[in-house]
Structure 1
């Protein structure tokens, strides 16, 4: 599963790829952070690295299935 995170006053989006079975945990972590349970949203990617984003800097968060990530022109 891919997670795209928009950060306020940031020039780029942050992209984190997590295991598909971690999607519910990621959604629960986001809801908890937005609910005031914590000030930092922590996610763990597929390779085990932890990514932390301050909750007050979140512009958007998009959860979705991992795409094929084609670059360039492609016929559908």
Structure 2
């Protein structure tokens, strides 16, 4: 699934493709935004770990992975 994180004072968002479930990510984000955790830590589908300081998180969008189609479809 795809997680987009908006970071304060950054014009770009951080996009992480994770194998975690939406509920797992939501629990992590709620703990960070609720002040129980100082850092949002997510692991992507390649095993890389992304850390974002809780005070820098502007927003988090949790959604399904965007499957991009490559090539051309036959015309009818």
Same fold flag (TM > 0.5):
yes
TM-score w.r.t. length of structure 2: 0.82
Instruction: Tell me the TM-score normalised to structure 1 length.
Output: 0.82
Measure the CA separation in 1 of the matches of 2:69 and 2:55.
Answer: 32
Aligned-CA RMSD value: 1.6
Aligned residue in 1 for 2:56:
57
Partners of 2:14 and 2:51 lie apart in 1 by 11
Which stretches in structure 2 are left out of the alignment for 5+ residues? 71-76
CA deviation after TM superposition for structure 1 residue 69, in Å: 3.7
**Consecutive unaligned residues in structure 1, runs of 5 or more:** 72-76
| Runs of 4+ with deviation above 3 angstroms | none
Q: Deviations over 1:47-73 (max 9, x none)?
A: 1111000111111110001112469xx
Aligned residue-pair number: 70
**Aligned ranges 1:1-76 → 2 under 5 Å:** 1-19=1-19, 21-69=20-68
Q: Which has the larger radius of gyration?
A: 2
